[in-house]
Amino acid sequence: MKIEDLNLEIEKLGRCNVPSPMTKGQFVSDEDRVLYYATLKEAETCIDAGRSLPSFEMAGPREKIYFDPSKLKCGIITCGGICPGLNDVIRAIVLSLHYHYHVNTVFGFRYGYEGISPRHQHTPVELNPKIVADIHEKGGTILGSSRGPQDVSEMVDTLDGRRSLKIGVVGIPKTIDNDISFLDQSFGFETAVSAARPCIYAAHVEAKGARNGVGLVKLMGRESGFISAYAALATSDVNFCLVPEIPFTLERFLPALKEQLERSDHSVIVVAEGAGQDLLNRDSACDASGNLRFGDIGLFLRDEIKAYFQREGVELQLKYIDPSYVIRSVPANPKDSVFCLLLGHNAVHAGMAGRTNMVVGYWDSEYTHVPIPIAVSERKRIDPDGRLWSSVIESTGQPRDLTGSSDKG
């Protein structure tokens, strides 16, 4: 999908005529834009073709806002799997609404979309600065979460039974896998990489401590292997990084592992949960969110590696580590906490300015507004020919091609 074919304009509820109560900070104009292209070559190609440079609306507070804060009620909901930083974002939203815009009524809907569906009868929690004072020090979400859809009409009726209110919907990018398109990063990802590092370190220590020692670590990453790739780069102790975007076969991988062990007596393997799913016998069952249930590639590889070396007559010591739920439950690290705070603030600024059907993005070190239809148009994945994967190959020393009979790169 070409960026020039996409509509990056943000939907608005109406004109902004209300003076902002904010007295501090730097206001942003609607004309302030963040360029999509990061390099001169890309920009020149676009200009030479007679096209306008694609750009995102810049996030930030506006001098004039759409909603009258004295009449406004706001709601917060957390959906899907938990990840580091959820409580930081909740806290940032509540504090910004209260101190920046003097909005006194903020509801937290319990357990995801269930909280807006009357059939589940979850009572909303009224949030204020006192309640959220220290929640950023804890993992998870104080509101709870759930997977799966609810009846849209019922949820709209919960928010506005007469269907007469203007309601702004602003999203904040929550996915530990960092797989949302047109965003450089989603919150929780950096903390996940940081939390994965000690697990890889432990696998490396175990592998080095035994003759023909192998440390195998399975990390999160259903269809995008960014956590595994960055964690491998962060430690520089990984010899094989297996991700969903790059296919591999046992016929190529296992001999390559044997060759690597012959060179250095130990090996560390990091595998993303969605890697190698074509090698597993799995059914077509889906979870509540509609995601295909994956087989356990970690256990599969553990058993296949042991069986292969037994057939080869090589004694092997393999330690398997699966820290998935430990990683997603930790509190955000300091840098992620800053990121969550600013995402939350910018979500509030966008909502107060009447923006809707959008998600707060982060692009080229600037906070942006991204239309939700664009953000979900395709999943962000590692480019097998891109710089990130080339860096992983350079760091691990693994063959670029793990499907053929020889190393092509």
Q: Which residues are catalytic?
A: 177
Nearest to 357 by CA among 179, 186, 171: 171
Two tokens at 227?
């956590």
Query: Who's near 303: CB < 8 A, 6+ residues apart?
Result: none
Asked whether the CA dihedral 179, 180, 184, 188 is positive or negative, the reply is negative
Q: For residues 228 and 218, what is the distance between their CA atoms, to the nearest angstrom? A: 8
Q: How far is CA 170 from CA 60, 77, 112, 317, 374, in A?
A: 13, 11, 15, 50, 14
Phi, psi (deg, nearest 5) at residue 85: 105, -5
* 167-183 residues labelled b (16+ CB within 10 A) or e (exposed): ebebbbbbbbbbbbbbb
Q: For residues 77 and 57, what is the distance between their CA atoms, to the nearest angstrom? A: 24
Two tokens at 282?
């799995």
